[in-house]
Structure 1
Amino acid sequence: MPTKFLESFGSKLAEKWVATLLTPAFVFWLGGAAAGLQRFGWKSASTWFSQQPEPLQIALLIGVLCVIAASAFVVQRFDLPVLRFLEGYWHPWLRPLRRCLIALEAKRSQRISTRWQTLKRIDPSQRNAEQRDELVQLDWQQLHLPLEKQLMPTRLGNILRAAEQRPLEKYGLDTIVCWSRLWLILPDAVKKDLQEARADLNTASRFWLWSLLFFIFWTFLAWWAAPVGIFSAIFAYNWALDAARNYGELIEATFDMHRHLLYQSLRWNLPPDPNEERRVGQQLTEYLWRGWG
């Protein structure tokens, strides 16, 4: 193979967009190639490839790169549907499973709340270090749980649902309605932090999809594809949980620090009293959604 082609290929792989977009796809196809070679034999494939003329070898390698790039592009289009699935927005025929999982999440929420109340009743001077750490952990877990009637069937869904609810609870501003308007007037530095956090969440959901595809497509070729796919899917889901917490906290902080920009742009006065602000915030949400306050 010509040296110039190898140098060009190496320089392109070093580019940032290749590293972020194509790496999961490359690993997926590399794993498939390894599983296929294990199933059908490496020697016959390498012998066949070495017997081909050099132009055909280059064409085959370019074709492989095109397949990897195309598959990466296609899978990236599913970032939002996969994320919505992981949140628990499922087809109606999965409602029985959804109700069952929501009931389990409700029990988990109740256990956390009961234990938190038990520890909270202990006099602070009487709590030991372990109890203090547990109280902080339980408080943090409650922060990422929505109201009981708003529970989702998955932990990821509950983390994001809780983040959506907090601006409504504190300021009367519905996140879903107000976010697109607020986004347009945010400072560039805030937008950058939010975009990076959302990109991290999207990457985690994309990695989860690649893991699922790895399990589905390559398990019949090699037994080790099953544990690899399952392990990577679990890793990706936990990655998504951490990314969702970070993203949700940034959304809440954005409303905390920059909601006044929304009022100013719409020429609404921001009430100084928190109770009054919730009422006015509900009116503002109604105005943005339906056109009247």
Structure 2
Amino acid sequence: MSLFLAEIGKGLAARWLTLLIPSGMLFLGLTAAAMLLGHGHALDAAMLVRELDAAAARPATRSPGAVLLLAASVVLAAAGVALLVSGVAGAVETLWYGQWPRPLQPLGRRLTARRLARWQRADEAHAEALRAKIRRLDTDGAVAADIPDTARLNAVRNRICLVRPDRPVWTADRIRAADLRVHAAYGLDLDSAWPRLWLIVPEETRAELRAARAAYAGAAGLAAWTVPYAVLALWWWPAAPVAAGIALVALRRGRAGMDALAELVEAVVDLHCGELAARLTADTPDEFFPESGDRITRRLRKGA
């Protein structure tokens, strides 16, 4: 599925660069204010106005050539910042997919172990509640009010991960869960089947998938802005809460975006796997079983 996400993400870079340039200009403006004010006068608006007035009063700023040069420099600098942030966004997506570089792998293993421990505790609580409910039903045929709500405990476990966690971050396990759930339900290898499914689904479905992918990429792009603002905080402390706020919003959007994308992927399989079977095997669209998925998987892998 990572290959699929990368493929439908093609073409987003140029569009996001266009959207990032205004954000780059805003960052440059705040950087200029930070350089003028520093930590000591971080929120001194009157001082900032005086400094800007003094700069505007200089003879060089009244030259049309100087003004044009300054404007061109600002646009180019904003584009440079946008390119930098775009590169960082790619790194963020790589981390969110669970593909952590070797120096970060020890941290990744610790995060994975922590998520797994939380999931196991939630899974055990859910299993124990189910056993208690079954015992009570076997005893008197009624469910007592003191038995924990199994639906709520199931939701608590699923918020951690829909399957047993195996990745450092939630987003990586969410797309992995789509692979595992599809294989468990249909015996279908999603990596092998997806390019064929993509060719047979309607254009409206592809548009929905592209929109979900764009929303997820947008969250990664937003998260990338935490880096320049965190660096700016070394000279201007108000940038620190800005960076923290951006990070929190980006994480929430990234999680929601990946959840929506994975749900769409599973929905495509649910609705179109029968059509895929009809085109690749002798099965009819309404007779898709795990055995059909196994046959399709063997055929698509071609012995690999």
> TM exceeds 0.5?
yes
Partner of 1:34: 33
Partner of 2:229: 214
Partner of 1:177: 192
The 1:214/1:181 distance shift into structure 2, 3 A limit, reads farther
Question: 1:220 deviation in Å?
Answer: 1.8
Task: Say which of 251, 255, 267 aligns to 1:241.
Answer: 255
The one-letter code matched in structure 1 to 2:249 is F
| 1:206 counterpart SS class | helix
Partner of 1:146: 163
The 1:66/1:93 distance shift into structure 2, 3 A limit, reads closer
Instruction: Kindly provide the CA deviation profile for residues 72-130 of structure 1, in whole angstroms up to 9, marking residues without a partner as x.
Output: 24533554432121233111233322221111111111122122223334368535899
Alpha-carbon distance between aligned partners in 2 of 1:234 and 1:253, rounded to the nearest angstrom: 29
The one-letter code matched in structure 2 to 1:101 is L
| 1:109 counterpart SS class | helix
- 1:82 equivalent in alignment to 2:92: yes
The 1:33/1:165 distance shift into structure 2, 3 A limit, reads farther
Instruction: Kindly provide the CA deviation profile for residues 25-62 of structure 1, in whole angstroms up to 9, marking residues without a partner as x.
Output: 34433332332232397444543345311342133223
Unaligned runs of 5+ in 2: 1-14, 42-46
The one-letter code matched in structure 1 to 2:37 is Q
Question: What is the TM-score of this pair, normalised by structure 1?
Answer: 0.78
The 1:74/1:172 distance shift into structure 2, 3 A limit, reads farther
Q: How many residues align structurally?
A: 271
RMSD: 3.2
Unaligned runs of 5+ in 1: 1-15
| 1:112 counterpart SS class | helix
Task: Say which of 162, 178, 186 aligns to 1:163.
Answer: 178
Partner of 1:3: none
Alpha-carbon distance between aligned partners in 2 of 1:249 and 1:54, rounded to the nearest angstrom: 55
The 1:45/1:130 distance shift into structure 2, 3 A limit, reads farther
What percent of counterpart residues are identical? 25
Partner of 2:3: none
The 1:27/1:283 distance shift into structure 2, 3 A limit, reads farther
Alpha-carbon distance between aligned partners in 2 of 1:178 and 1:78, rounded to the nearest angstrom: 31
The 1:136/1:95 distance shift into structure 2, 3 A limit, reads closer
| Counterpart contact for 1:28–1:210, Cα < 8 Å | no
| 2:235 counterpart SS class | coil
| 1:126 counterpart SS class | coil
Equivalent residue runs for 1:259-270 within 5 Å: 259-267=273-281, 269=283
Task: Say which of 126, 151, 162 aligns to 2:144.
Answer: 126
Alpha-carbon distance between aligned partners in 1 of 2:188 and 2:53, rounded to the nearest angstrom: 62
Partner of 2:68: 58
Alpha-carbon distance between aligned partners in 1 of 2:26 and 2:181, rounded to the nearest angstrom: 39
- 1:280 equivalent in alignment to 2:292: yes
Question: What is the TM-score of this pair, normalised by structure 2?
Answer: 0.76
